[in-house]
Structure 1
Amino acid sequence: MTREVQADTRHHDPIAPPIAPPVVHARFSIGDVVRHRMLDFRGVIFDVDPVFANSEEWYESIPETLRPRKDQPFYHLLAENLESSYVAYVSQQNLEHDDSDEPVEHPAIAGLFDRLADGRYGLKPLHRH
């Protein structure tokens, strides 16, 4: 019994540019005050990942029905709710601008940002690059 093996005719063209991942635009910037769409907390953005960059364990801990897509920006927030202040990692799809003009009372804000003005915090010159 003989088997016919079909050759793989696909090949890598060394002249062709590599295929780039899709471009995703961040809707929010460092210093923006945002709130979570479904959960009762708000915060100030202090870092942005263009796509998901946390652990698989963290991702799997989110109930499957609520898990965000990984192919979108994720934001690091100095967050607060009625009980505490903490750092949160949130997908773009779950954030919206907070238009309350109320300051965020997270204790780390004073170390990173200047005062709240026009709905956002200005990053201190020491932390800009």
Structure 2
Amino acid sequence: MSPSRPLFMIGEIVNHVKFGYRGVVVDVDPVFGLTEEWYAQVARSRPPKDKPWYHLLVDGAQHMTYVAERHLQPHPDKTQIDHPDLGRFFGRYDGHRYILRETAH
């Protein structure tokens, strides 16, 4: 079976449905991309590995999380995320989503 098309894009603000935090998508893996040990210890609800997984900057925190698609939904609150690493990934916020930084070539 081939991987699913991601529901969320880089720069999109999402909500973790189980834990209630907001975050912004900084990267998308088409399928689970961490170790079996991580999955066994952290992914207690055993979300599917063959669906997209997302790297998120957590609003109001200083860490990043790795979340299965089934635990995310669009967040209606489009106010900016508060995270110290935003500038590492994004150049600006357009009022709805973050726009990736332009890199020098």
Q: Aligned-pair distance for 1:80? A: 2.8
Aligned length, in residue pairs: 105
- Contact preservation (8 Å) 2:18, 2:71: yes
Q: Max radius of gyration: which structure?
A: 1
After TM superposition, which residue ranges in structure 1, 4 or more long, deviate above 2 angstroms? Answer: none
CA displacement at 1:78 relative to structure 2: 1.0
Q: Which amino acid aligns with 1:125?
A: E
DSSP 3-state at the match of 1:76? strand
- Partner SS state of residue 87, structure 2: helix
Residue from 10, 13, 20 that aligns with 1:33: 13
Q: Which has the higher contact order (CA 8 A, sep 6+)?
A: 2
Residue identity (%): 36
CA contact (8 A) 1:30 1:47 kept: yes
Partner residue of 1:15? none
Report what 2:32 is aligned to.
52
TM-score (norm 2): 0.88
Gaps of 5+ in 1: 1-20
Where do 5+ consecutive residues of structure 2 fail to align? none
Partner Cα distance (2:3, 2:41) in 1: 27
1:93 aligns with 2:93: no
Q: For 1:8-62, what per-residue CA distance to the aligned partner results, in whole angstroms no more than 9, with x for missing partners?
A: xxxxxxxxxxxxx424110111111111011121111111110001111111113
Give 1:103's aligned residue.
80
Residue pair 2:92, 2:100 contacting (<8 A) in 1 also: no
Contact 1:43 1:77 in 2 (8 A): yes
TM-score, normalised to structure 1, is 0.73
Q: Which residue of 2 aligns with 1:72?
A: 51
